[in-house]
Amino acid sequence: MHKSNYFCIPLLLIVLLSAPIAAQESMFVPAAKSIDHIVAVVNEDVITRQELDDAVKTAVGRLQQQGVQLPDQRSLENQVLESVVMKHIQLQHAKEVGLAVGESELDETIQRIAADNKLSLPEFHAVLEKDGISYNKFRDEIRDEMIMARLKEREVKHQVNVTEGEVDNYLQTQKSTSEGQDEYRLAHILILVPENTAPSQVQQRAERAKLASDKLQQGADFSQVAAEFSDAADAKTGGIIEWRPVTQMGPTFAELLEPLQPGDVTPVVQSPSGFHIFKLLGRRAQETPTVIIDQTHARHILIKINELTSESDGKQKILQIKERLDKGESFEEVAKLYSEDTSASSGGDLGWLSPGDTVPDFERAMNALLPGQVSDPVRSQFGWHLIQVLERRSQDISLDRRRQTARQAIRSRKADVVVQEWLRQLRDQAYVEYRLDDDHEH
């Protein structure tokens, strides 16, 4: 019943809205090649010149929106081509393991993206059309992002575990450092060194990191150097790491960053994942405000709609159950008998729910009820519900929120390492043939 958690989908619409196609004109002129001209082979797939040109155009728009000086065309094309190769590899792997995104789920995600940008669905279509963006193409891009996010979550799920002891230690470290711990906004460059890399390759990557550092010392723009050298996923956006507590960076980096002033750039530092260079963009005190939220104690009965139960049959069944409740039968007992949710064994009890814990349709209906009241049938992506509110309260969740934030910070740090290594392994196992150099010669 609760919403599933997986890697966040990048809100591509923000980029597309703020960097329309017309605004992406620059020194980069796509090569005059036919759409079937191949620039890379990835296992049994091919990447065409047209696909690369589209990806470069998007990358240029994003870099310009970030105010990043563009690298030379060949460097940018090589960097973007590698990201397109990785996208193909991930989507191929997702297909192999049976990961997919349904049409209704995709529709719901696109509606949420439109709502997050304060647009109705028709307005959303109009903005895409105005900027010369095919709705079907945008839809496919969002589907791909969702699949790749789930693929990463699937990989991380069984490898990343955060214990209560780790959360306790994290919070204790925060407390001993200061009550209002500093947060940092950074730019970074990562030269990735996978596990079991040969010493000669480690040396090559160290030299690459030194070359990037030398360019920075000579006055090169950090964002441009990141776009040219960094292996991190955010390289094309200048390597920006938005505000995060120093403890989320790990002890090695915390010591390195502590004495920096805004504008300072670190020397090359090595970690288990590779070689890093950081630039401090800003520092601020982290606030720890009291967090009071309204919570609802509710229970529900769910009739699922699937290949065994049609829409009309499901609605008829939930109406019959509602009629029994209206005649005075116990909600708890009826839930135990008929609900198809995992909460059935506890009489449909969902415990105390905070805002955002359930899907929007369910939450809206629940919020409209008075304590003791039972809803009319409510349709959600899961099926048909009857909801009863038991009680409400205002709850101070400051400690819970701090523990949740700590758990997310620890998990994020661990997941970054796991995902980077997993992606490197996927890349090493794939057959990739580059033909971009041949393309440049023509």
Contact 146, 101 (CB under 8 A): yes
Please give the pLDDT value at position 390: 97
Res. 20: pLDDT tops 60: no
Residue 430 forms part of a structural domain = no
Distance CA 42, CA 440 (A): 19
Q: What's the average model confidence in pLDDT over 97-111?
A: 88
Distance CA 376, CA 268 (A): 62
Q: What's the average model confidence in pLDDT over 337-341?
A: 96
Assess whether 215 and 92 both reside in one domain. Answer: no
Band of residue 13 on the pLDDT scale cut at 50, 70, 90:
very low
Distance CA 20, CA 3 (A): 33
Least confident of 33-37, 49-53, 199-203, 304-308: 33-37
Assess whether 277 and 298 both reside in one domain. Answer: no
The CATH number of the domain holding residue 351 is: 3.10.50.40
Res. 17: pLDDT tops 50: no
Please give the pLDDT value at position 426: 92
Residue 365 forms part of a structural domain = yes
Task: Give the distance from CA 69 to its chain's centroid.
Answer: 26
Residue 120 forms part of a structural domain = yes
Please give the pLDDT value at position 331: 98
Structural domain containing residue 358:
293-396
- Please count the structural domains in the chain: 3
Please give the pLDDT value at position 440: 58
Assess whether 92 and 205 both reside in one domain. Answer: no
Q: What's the average model confidence in pLDDT over 80-98?
A: 94
- Identify the top-confidence range among 54-63, 175-184, 323-332: 323-332
Assess whether 126 and 53 both reside in one domain. Answer: yes
Share of the chain above pLDDT 70, in %: 87
Res. 144: pLDDT tops 90: yes
Please give the pLDDT value at position 293: 86
Contact 132, 17 (CB under 8 A): no
Residue 426 forms part of a structural domain = no
Assess whether 297 and 282 both reside in one domain. Answer: no
Please give the pLDDT value at position 12: 44
Res. 283: pLDDT tops 70: yes
Q: Is the pTM of this model over 0.75?
A: no
Please give the pLDDT value at position 329: 96
- Residue that finishes a domain, picked among 233, 268, 287: 287
Q: What's the average model confidence in pLDDT over 130-158?
A: 89
* SS3 letters across the chain: CECCCCCCCCCHHHHHHHCCHHHHCCCCCCCCCCCCCEEEEECCEEEEHHHHHHHHHHHHHHHHHHCCCCCCHHHHHHHHHHHHHHHHHHHHHHHHCCCCCCHHHHHHHHHHHHHHCCCCHHHHHHHHHHCCCCHHHHHHHHHHHHHHHHHHHHHHHCCCCCCHHHHHHHHHHHHHHCCCCEEEEEEEEEEECCCCCCHHHHHHHHHHHHHHHHHHHCCCCHHHHHHHHCCCCCHHHCCEEEEEEHHHHCHHHHHHHCCCCCCCECCCEEECCEEEEEEEEEEEECCCCCCEEEEEEEEEEEEECCCCCCHHHHHHHHHHHHHHHHCCCCHHHHHHHHCCCHHHHHCCEEEEECCCCECHHHHHHHHCCCCCCECCCEEECCEEEEEEEEEEEEEECHHHHHHHHHHHHHHHHHHHHHHHHHHHHHHHHCCEEECHHHHHHC
Residues 6+ apart with CB under 8 A from 162: 407, 410, 411, 414
Res. 34: pLDDT tops 60: no
Assess whether 91 and 145 both reside in one domain. Answer: yes
Give the count of beta carbons closer than 10 Å to the beta carbon of residue 72. Answer: 12
Please give the pLDDT value at position 19: 41
Please give the pLDDT value at position 36: 59
Contact 274, 206 (CB under 8 A): no
Distance CA 28, CA 366 (A): 53
Burial of 193 (0-12, 13-18, 19+ CB in 10 A): buried
Does residue 185 or residue 233 have the better pLDDT? 185
Assess whether 35 and 133 both reside in one domain. Answer: yes
Please give the pLDDT value at position 134: 87
Band of residue 244 on the pLDDT scale cut at 50, 70, 90:
confident
Q: For the chain, what is the mean pLDDT? A: 85
Please give the pLDDT value at position 272: 82
Residue 421 forms part of a structural domain = no
Please give the pLDDT value at position 30: 46
- Residue that finishes a domain, picked among 258, 287, 316: 287
Does residue 402 or residue 49 have the better pLDDT? 49
Assess whether 210 and 104 both reside in one domain. Answer: no
Assess whether 279 and 300 both reside in one domain. Answer: no
Please give the pLDDT value at position 441: 53
Assess whether 214 and 151 both reside in one domain. Answer: no
Assess whether 152 and 195 both reside in one domain. Answer: no
Does residue 377 or residue 30 have the better pLDDT? 377
Res. 27: pLDDT tops 70: no
Residue 428 forms part of a structural domain = no
Assess whether 240 and 260 both reside in one domain. Answer: yes
Instruction: Locate 348 and state its tokens.
Output: 């449909």
Which position has the token pair 């010392």?
A: 217
Please give the pLDDT value at position 212: 94
Res. 387: pLDDT tops 80: yes
Residue 165 forms part of a structural domain = no
Q: What's the average model confidence in pLDDT over 423-430?
A: 92
Res. 197: pLDDT tops 50: yes
Q: What's the average model confidence in pLDDT over 181-208?
A: 87
Residues 6+ apart with CB under 8 A from 341: 1, 300, 301, 302, 348, 382
Q: What's the average model confidence in pLDDT over 86-92?
A: 95
Res. 425: pLDDT tops 80: yes
Q: What's the average model confidence in pLDDT over 103-125?
A: 87
Share of the chain above pLDDT 90, in %: 46
Instruction: Locate 205 and state its tokens.
Output: 């990557």
Residue 235 forms part of a structural domain = yes
The CATH number of the domain holding residue 75 is: 1.10.4030.10
Band of residue 72 on the pLDDT scale cut at 50, 70, 90:
confident
- Residue that finishes a domain, picked among 253, 287, 321: 287
Please give the pLDDT value at position 175: 66
Which amino acid is it at 203? Q
